Amino acid sequence: MAACDVSVVVSTYNRAERLPAALDALLGQATSLRYEVIVVDNNSTDATSAVLDALTRRTAGRLRAVFEPRQGLSHGRNTGILRAKAPVIAFSDDDVRVDETWLANLHRALVDHPEVDYVGGKVLPHWLAPPPPWLTTAHWSPLALQDYGNEPLMSGAERAVCLVGASLAFRRRVFERVGLFTPALGRIKDGIGSTEDHEMQLRVWRAGMRGLYVPQVLSFADVTPDRLDKAYHRRWHLGHGRHCAKMRLRELVPADLGPLSEPNDIVTLFGAPAFVYAELFRTAGLWAHSLWRRGDPLFYVHQLRHVWGYLAESYAMFSSDRRRRVLPEVAAFVRAYARKKRNRELRPSRA
């Protein structure tokens, strides 16, 4: 294709049996836009290569297959970005079925809103097995699902709402300004709960750029039976906490959906902010209260695992520096906390 309006990048690994359905949805878009679909084979060992060869031959150049030997979603996406021809680069996944209006709606959102730099959409579940009763929308995060309602929502430094990468489109200028995805964030333990999408958007927000959630940009993600298991969700929250610690997310966005900040007076202990330790005890109290009031104790169990993962990774990064010692660290924490408390007391109160 000599030119196109949108390049769609899909990174795939060992999903040959489900990949054709995802690509058929992308190739069957109801739009007059010129677009290409770039599928990055991320070193698959199944029949992915043969599937892509067959699909490429019958798509008249709209589908391009490339190979990336370095494993990891960020490596795959970055390879696709470098091969893309369009001024808009969109992302979907090999287990996602986009609506036939997906491409037209995301492109229209960017045209209608020149002030935004990327667009995300609603990602609803396609259950491959009946979901258990406990799996309410409060437990959707490990499934890469997203539903912020039926009204558009702005995402930026003033309101740091992360949009999932299963349905996301950036203007090319974003990558030219802030760089590509960060592969290192997919390399903690088994990579579960990774935060490549969040870290990319964090850099975008810090550069003064913004995104937009558009509910009409609709897609459906396969939810396989193994992801309906509580053990999977426990592992995901622990891994996600570790990944968030790598990118210092709690320090930069202390409150959920709150404003992006650049903290300069946060008191830390063993590499983690003091308020994260406080959150551990507060969440434990909420868990106990939910048992008594018959709430949703599993929600707080998952939150506890997230906080514990954050603290564990913070400590691992702290202890990797052999110059750091426990007793001096505790003493420095006590001094810093006392100094911060004293400064607060001396600060004039607002009338």
Q: Do 332 and 274 touch, CB atoms closer than 8 A?
A: no
Residue 327, classified by CB atoms within 10 Å of its CB into exposed (0-12), middle (13-18) or buried (19+), is exposed
User: Could you give the angle at the alpha carbon of 349 between the alpha carbons of 344 and 350, nearest 5°?
Assistant: 135
Q: Determine how many CB atoms are found less than 10 A away from the CB of residue 67.
A: 15
**pLDDT value of residue 203:** 92
| Average pLDDT over every residue of 120-132 | 97
Q: Where are the domains of the chain?
A: 6-224, 249-346
Query: What pLDDT band is residue 327 in, cutting at 50, 70 and 90?
Result: confident
Please give the share of the chain, as a percent, with pLDDT higher than 90. Answer: 68
Evaluate if residue 177 carries a pLDDT over 80. yes
CATH number of the structural domain 6-224: 3.90.550.10
Choice between 57 and 105, residue whose per-residue pLDDT is larger? 105
Name residue, tokens 């891994």.
239
Q: Are strands 211-223 and 153-155 parallel, antiparallel or unpaired?
A: antiparallel
Q: Is the model's pLDDT at 257 over the cut of 50? A: no
Please give the residue that has the higher pLDDT: either 192 or 101: 101
H or E segment to which residue 16 belongs: none
Residue of 183, 220, 235 lying closest to 70 (CA atoms): 183
Nearest to 52 by CA among 36, 68, 65: 65
Other Cβ atoms within 10 Å of 113 Cβ, number? 16
Residue 349 has pLDDT above 60, yes or no: no
Q: What was the pLDDT predicted at 342? A: 65
- The larger pLDDT score, comparing residue 100 to residue 161, is at 100
Give the span between the Cα atoms of 151 and 329, in whole angstroms.
47
How far is 115 from 293, CA to CA, in rounded Å?
46
Q: How confident is the model at residue 351 (pLDDT cuts 50, 70, 90)?
A: very low
Q: What is the mean pLDDT of residues 147-166?
A: 93
Question: What are the pLDDT digits (tens) for 67-121?
Answer: 999 989 999 999 999 999 999 999 999 999 999 999 999 999 999 999 999 999 9
Query: In this predicted model, what pLDDT tens digit does every residue of 10-51 receive, in sequence order?
Result: 999 999 999 999 999 999 999 999 999 999 999 999 999 999
Average pLDDT over residues 52-64: 91
Q: Is the pLDDT of residue 138 over 80?
A: yes
pLDDT range class, residue 334, cuts 50, 70, 90: confident
Q: In this structure, which amino acid lies at residue 45?
A: T
pLDDT at residue 1 tops 50: no
In tens, the pLDDT along 307-325 reads 999 999 998 988 887 666 7
How much is the pLDDT for 258? 54
| Angle between helix 196-206 and helix 73-83 axes, rounded to 10 deg | 60
Ranges 58-62, 151-155, 185-189, 229-233: which has the least confidence: 185-189
